[in-house]
């Protein structure tokens, strides 16, 4: 964690001491601190990878993700292969 991340974490915790993590995440979205596009990409990637772990073929999982997230198969494909720097860990 960088010094900037630690400082932001401390400031937010001081301003909102009794706020749940869900509410804090909503606040960060509203502040524009969290990148919405990267969040969408991460959600799609994690969902597809989870479906593959459960036994689905990758292409089938990608088509299912397009249905689930109400987007095009091309967008899912871009999430999987173009945005390679977005990972959960």
What average pLDDT does this structure show over 36-46? 91
Q: Cα 78 vs. chain centroid, distance in angstroms?
A: 15
Q: Give me the phi and psi of 18, to 5 degrees please.
A: -105, 25
Higher pLDDT, 9 or 81: 81
Higher pLDDT, 10 or 47: 47
What does pTM read for this prediction?
0.75
Residue 25: pLDDT over 70: yes
23 to 10, 15, 36, 71: CA distances (angstroms)? 16, 13, 16, 27
Please write the tens of the pLDDT for every residue from 42-88.
Answer: 999 999 999 999 999 999 999 999 999 999 999 999 999 998 776 65
Q: ∠ CA 64-67-68 to the nearest 5 degrees? A: 85
């Amino acid at each position: 964690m960088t010094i900037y991340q630690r400082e932001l974490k401390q400031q937010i915790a001081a301003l909102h001491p009794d706020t749940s993590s869900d509410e804090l995440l909503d606040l960060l979205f509203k502040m524009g601190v969290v990148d919405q596009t990267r969040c969408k990409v991460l959600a799609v990637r994690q969902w597809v990878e989870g479906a593959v772990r459960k036994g689905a073929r990758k292409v089938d999982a990608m088509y299912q993700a397009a249905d689930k997230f109400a987007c095009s198969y091309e967008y899912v494909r871009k999430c999987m292969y173009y945005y390679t720097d977005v990972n959960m860990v």
